[in-house]
Amino acid sequence: MTVTTDPAPPPGATAADPPDGSLASFGYPQELRRRMGRYASFAAGFSFISVLTTVFQFFPLGYSFGGPLFFWTWPAVLIGQFLVAACFAELAARMPISGAVYQWASRLGTPSFGWYAGWIMVVGRVVVVAAAALALQVVLPAVWPGFQMVGGDPSPTTTSGATNAALLGLVLLVFTTLLNVTDNRALSAVNSVGVTAEIAGIALIVTLLATHAERGPAVTLHTGGEGGLITALLVGSFTAAYVLIGFESASEMSEETVNPRRTAPRTTLTALTTSGVCGGLLLLGGLLAAPSLTDGRLATGGLGYVLTSTLGDGFGRVLLGDVAVAICAATLAIQTSATRMLYSMARDGVLPYSARLARVPRRTGMPGTAATVVGVGAGVLLLLNLASPQAFLAIGTSCIAMVYLAYAMVTGPMLFRRLRGEWPPADDGRSDELGRPLFSLGRWGLPVNAVAFGYGLLMTVNLAWPRAAVYDPAGGHWYFRWFTVLVLGATVAAGAAYRSRRRARTERGAPRGRETGARGVRAFRS
- Judge contact between 261 and 93, C-beta under 8 A: yes
What are the residue ranges of helices labelled H in 135-158? 136-143
3-state class of 431 per DSSP? Answer: strand
pLDDT, position 249: 95
What's the count of helices (H) and strands (E) in the chain, helices before strands?
20, 0
Percent of the chain at pLDDT exceeding 70 = 90
Nearest to 264 by CA among 274, 246, 250: 250
Cα–Cα distance, 267 to 48 (Å, whole number)? 13
- Judge contact between 126 and 374, C-beta under 8 A: yes
Neighbouring CB atoms inside 10 A of 79's CB total: 12
3-state class of 237 per DSSP? Answer: helix
User: Model confidence at 305, in pLDDT bands (50, 70, 90)?
Assistant: confident
Distance of CA 238 to the CA centre of its chain: 15
Task: Answer yes or no: is pLDDT of 6 > 60.
Answer: no
Task: Answer yes or no: is pLDDT of 286 > 70.
Answer: yes
Task: Answer yes or no: is pLDDT of 524 > 70.
Answer: no
User: Model confidence at 11, in pLDDT bands (50, 70, 90)?
Assistant: very low
Distance of CA 501 to the CA centre of its chain: 30
Task: Answer yes or no: is pLDDT of 3 > 70.
Answer: no
Residue 349 to residues 295, 366, 502, Cα–Cα distance (Å)? 56, 18, 11
Cα–Cα distance, 91 to 95 (Å, whole number)? 6
pLDDT, position 227: 59
Of 30-34, 328-332, 505-509, minimum mean pLDDT range: 505-509
User: Model confidence at 340, in pLDDT bands (50, 70, 90)?
Assistant: very high
Q: pLDDT per residue over 480-491, tens digit each?
A: 889 889 999 999
pLDDT, position 332: 96
User: Model confidence at 150, in pLDDT bands (50, 70, 90)?
Assistant: confident
Task: Answer yes or no: is pLDDT of 368 > 90.
Answer: yes
Residue type, 373: V
pLDDT, position 426: 77
Q: Before 424, cis peptide (omega within 30)?
A: yes
Cα–Cα distance, 350 to 515 (Å, whole number)? 6
Q: What is the CA radius of gyration of the chain?
A: 22
Q: Average pLDDT over the chain, rounded to whole?
A: 88
Cα–Cα distance, 343 to 255 (Å, whole number)? 12
* Arithmetic mean of pLDDT, 365-384: 94
Q: pLDDT per residue over 452-493, tens digit each?
A: 999 999 999 999 999 888 888 777 788 888 988 999 999 999
- State the pTM of this model: 0.91
Q: pLDDT per residue over 156-175, tens digit each?
A: 778 888 889 999 999 999 99
Cα–Cα distance, 509 to 503 (Å, whole number)? 10
Q: 69's torsion region: left (phi>0), alpha (psi -120 to 50) or beta?
A: alpha
* Arithmetic mean of pLDDT, 263-288: 97
Neighbouring CB atoms inside 10 A of 367's CB total: 28
